[in-house]
Amino acid sequence: MTEMISVLQEERIFKPDPTLSQRAHIPDMAAYKALVVQAETDHEAYWAWEAERLISWEKKWDRVLNDDNPPFYKWFEGGRLNASVNCIDRHLGRRSDSSRSGRKNKAAIIWEGEPGDMRTITYQELANEVNKLGNVLRQMGIKKGDRVVIYMPMIPEAAFAMLACARVGAVHNIVFGGFSAEALADRIDDAKAKLVITADGGWRRGAIVPLKDAVDQALLKCDSVEKVIVVERTKQRIHMHYGRDYWYDDLVAEANIRCEPESMEAEDPLFILYTSGSTGKPKGVLHTTGGYMVNAARTTQYVFDLQEDDTYWCTADIGWITGHTYVIYGPLALGGTSLMYEGVPTAPHAGRLWEIVEKYRVNIFYTAPTAIRALSKLGDQWPQKYNMDSLRILGTVGEPINPEAWMWYYRVIGSERCPIVDTYWQTETGSICISPLPAATPIKPGSCTLPLPGMKYAVVDNDGNPVKEGNGGMLVIQRPWPSMLRTVWGDDDRYVETYFAKFGDKQFYFAGDGARMDAEGYYWVMGRVDDVINVAGHRLGTMEIESALVSHPSVAEAAVVGRPDDVKGENIFAFVVLQDISDDDFHHDALVRELRDHVTKEIGPIAKPDGIKFTDNLPKTRSGKIMRRLLRDIASGRESKGDTSTLEDSTILEQLRGS
Ligand code: PRX
């Protein structure tokens, strides 16, 4: 493979507001650089210092990093801790230990349901709920190491379920509530789960998602599950199987509020989370306890600059890694207040998120580019209805954010006052890896900027050698880090092959992204390398062409794919969603020409789309990622093979194939 060409030119730069420095954890670039030097001087000592500072250990580790058998790394071996104790017990305050801060009456979770119902759960209440459910799990025969599937809406009980599993040493495996019975069955079966925790349903866009029905269907195929716990959320009629299914409320009503936490070794599993690759069945990414907790807490503190009195809101569902690390484990480990919202951003109206920001005076807001693009398309009048001056920091995650969407977020949501932390990471990395620090890093729209201290990144060619500055290549991590995945559940070979085999003995971690580094060492992620288009021997990242398209005032969203071409190898085909979809066809012809010229002007003729198709929507996963694999099939007139079960709207393929 030749190097990738990077064509995105972005010159804007925004310096951090000096008032942010006053109480920030990392107040300026000098403080950031000092941490980088500390981590590079003695990598293990650095992580040991962070581990000691951030996490309460029952017993200190014997060894910081065991790298005797790469890539099967072990962190904090011999150390013992419990994740739920770190997220709850240590915040309650004890008279015998004056260093404990006494947050027992502080809100741990502020919850808003889609219909507008609310709950605030203090740390003491969280302790009581988690302890009760922990006892229920033990009574049901759940032991350390057993797998529990959680298939729930975004309700407080989902957080209780995660933490109760952690308390008794069970390994949770959360399946996003939007996945089908089929996808659920695969994940239950692969993990050989003994118990499922679910709800009668959840609210989504004013309708009920029938979660329990999906569990019933899935369990027709899975024989490992012995019992099901059901939370009553929507009160719709469901079928309860006698002897297998139990109501959550009945079980916890009887349970004791003291549940002894299981003493876990740092390397004992905390959770499995399935993530789909472009091929093959989903991979069960395994995270363990000690290293994951250290980096979840560290990154929440550094990247979001979480302060004691902040209201912090990460909009991710707990079914994704972002929901694990930045709704639950990170903020709660730090004793923060985490807001949870059940519904979609646009129900019952397009200002729902901004209404919640105003209502709870949210200080830190973290969401995905797909939501930002969708909301910007609905117009500035929605955010402008609400007072959002409580906001201090904005964040984004999940895919490259194109500079136009970044600017909208910065201007309209943050009033040109809030830094945007564009956080690059993956399910596999467990925590944020590359990101600005809000009070320190000058930011550039579209760049995730600099690696966090301790993270050793590089952009390399096929042989693992660094590419020239400014050139695109493959993004690798050259050294293990505490919150890295430990294996693919039940498939060590797949772990090695997928992530560590590409560069032979170098043992670099590679998880499929292309990137370039600019003269100031800033990283620009160009998207998955499978999404690269090869035009006449030049490898172009689709993201950059999409960015150019979206910078045209008529375009709301764009997805670009390669289509086989006898001459050029591949040619460029763009699916475009317009801001104003009422334009007539004649106008479209003119617009096609205009957009092609626009891309030529922005990037150059090599990136000019050969074909453009206008559409109302794009095929996306339920987490908002564009499924380019399906668009490639459509563009080249092929049948789509492979898994489409993660598609948000299954009718979209027919629409796209039509006229
Ligand atoms: O391609 C990168 C993209 O999302 C992938 C990871 O997806 P997932 O495991 O579902 O985790 C999403 C939440 C961490 C990456 O390999 N990605 C994630 N964040 C960014 C990003 N691409 C560019 N910029 C980001 N900030």
Residue 96 lies in a domain: no
Residues 306 and 336 in one domain: yes
Number of domains in the chain: 3
Q: Which domain holds residue 294?
A: 4-82+283-517
Q: What is the reported pLDDT for 659?
A: 54
Residue 585 has pLDDT above 60, yes or no: no
**Residue 541: CB within 6 Å of ligand 1?**
no
Distance CA(550)–CA(594), nearest Å, equals 13
The strand pairing partners of 367, in sequence order, are 396
Give the least confident one: 107-111, 502-506, 536-540, 647-651.
Answer: 536-540
Residues 168 and 131 in one domain: yes
Q: What is the pTM of this model?
A: 0.89
What pLDDT digit, counting tens, does each position of 229-250 carry?
Answer: 999 999 999 999 999 999 999 9
Residue 446 has pLDDT above 90, yes or no: yes
Instruction: Find where tokens 């989504």 sit.
Output: 204
**In ligand 1, which atom is closest to the CA atom of 401?**
24
Q: How far is the CA of 423 from the centre of ligand 1 (A)?
A: 8
**In ligand 1, which atom is closest to the CA atom of 528?**
1
Judge whether 580 and 563 are in contact, CB under 8 Å: no
Q: Strand runs (DSSP E) across 310-415, as ranges? A: 311-314, 337-341, 364-367, 393-396
Name residues whose C-beta falls within 8 Å of residue 36's C-beta, 6 or more positions apart in sequence.
453
Q: At what angle do helices 181-191 and 211-219 cross, to 10 degrees?
A: 50
Q: What is the reported pLDDT for 581?
A: 62
**Residue 525: CB within 6 Å of ligand 1?**
yes
Mean pLDDT, range 190-211, rounded to an integer: 95
Residue 2 has pLDDT above 50, yes or no: no
Q: What is the CATH number of the domain that holds 26?
A: 3.40.50.12780
Judge whether 209 and 155 are in contact, CB under 8 Å: no
What pLDDT digit, counting tens, does each position of 311-322 carry?
Answer: 999 999 999 999
Residues 73 and 213 in one domain: no
Nearest CA-CA partner of 212 in 200, 195, 229, 221:
200
Q: What is the reported pLDDT for 655?
A: 82
Residues 244 and 151 in one domain: yes
The residue whose CA is least distant from atom 3 of ligand 1 is 399
What pLDDT digit, counting tens, does each position of 321-361 carry?
Answer: 999 999 999 999 999 999 999 988 988 899 999 999 999 99
> DSSP 3-state helix, strand, coil percentages of the chain (rounded to 5)?
35, 25, 45
**In ligand 1, which atom is closest to the CA atom of 423?**
26
Judge whether 365 and 421 are in contact, CB under 8 Å: no
Q: What is the CATH number of the domain that holds 237?
A: 3.40.50.980
How many separate helices (H) and strands (E) can be counted in the chain? 20, 31
CA distances from 159 to 155, 248, 511 (A): 7, 14, 29
Distance CA(642)–CA(640), nearest Å, equals 7
Q: What is the reported pLDDT for 209?
A: 93
Residue 530 has pLDDT above 80, yes or no: no
Name residues whose C-beta falls within 8 Å of residue 325's C-beta, 6 or more positions apart in sequence.
292, 296, 299, 300, 430, 431
Q: How far is the CA of 510 from the centre of ligand 1 (A)?
A: 13
Name residues whose C-beta falls within 8 Å of residue 305's C-beta, 6 or more positions apart in sequence.
20, 24, 25, 26, 364, 392, 393, 437, 438, 439
Name residues whose C-beta falls within 8 Å of residue 482's C-beta, 6 or more positions apart in sequence.
47, 51, 75, 76, 290, 291, 292, 294, 295
What pLDDT digit, counting tens, does each position of 14-53 carry?
Answer: 999 999 999 999 999 999 999 999 999 999 999 999 999 9
Name residues whose C-beta falls within 8 Å of residue 480's C-beta, 6 or more positions apart in sequence.
65, 67, 70, 71, 73, 75, 509
Q: How far is the CA of 623 from the centre of ligand 1 (A)?
A: 11
Q: What is the chain's mean pLDDT, rounded? A: 92
Judge whether 195 and 225 are in contact, CB under 8 Å: yes
Q: What is the CATH number of the domain that holds 559?
A: 3.30.300.30
**Residue 528: CB within 6 Å of ligand 1?**
yes
Residue 461 lies in a domain: yes
**Residue 400: CB within 6 Å of ligand 1?**
yes
Residues 142 and 214 in one domain: yes
Q: Strand runs (DSSP E) across 31-73, as ranges? A: 63-66
- For 229-257, the three-class secondary structure string (H helix, E strand, C coil) is EEECCCCCCCCCCCCCEEEHHHHHHCCCC
Distance CA(431)–CA(71), nearest Å, equals 18
Specify the 3-state DSSP secondary structure of 313: strand
Instruction: Find where tokens 């979840």 sit.
Output: 296
Q: What is the reported pLDDT for 583?
A: 52
The share of the chain scoring above pLDDT 90, in percent, equals 74
Residue 440 lies in a domain: yes
Judge whether 19 and 417 are in contact, CB under 8 Å: no
Instruction: Give the end of a domain, one of 216, 232, 262.
Output: 262
Q: How far is the CA of 292 from the centre of ligand 1 (A)?
A: 18
Residues 288 and 205 in one domain: no
Q: What is the reported pLDDT for 1?
A: 41
The residue whose CA is least distant from atom 23 of ligand 1 is 400
CA 46 to chain centre: 26
Judge whether 420 and 444 are in contact, CB under 8 Å: no
Enter the tokens of residue 507.
């043992």
Mean pLDDT, range 633-641, rounded to an integer: 84
Enter the tokens of residue 235.
């009160």
**Residue 400 carries which side chain, given as an amino acid letter?**
P
**Residue 426: CB within 6 Å of ligand 1?**
yes
Residue 99 lies in a domain: no
Residue 101 lies in a domain: no
Residues 151 and 254 in one domain: yes
CA 20 to chain centre: 26
**Residue 376: CB within 6 Å of ligand 1?**
no
**Residue 326: CB within 6 Å of ligand 1?**
no
* Pocket perturbation via mutation, ligand 1, pick of 271, 424, 523 by most ligand atoms within 8 A of CB: 424
pLDDT tier at 165 (50, 70, 90 boundaries)? very high
Q: How far is the CA of 195 from the centre of ligand 1 (A)?
A: 30
Residues 317 and 186 in one domain: no
Residue 113 lies in a domain: no
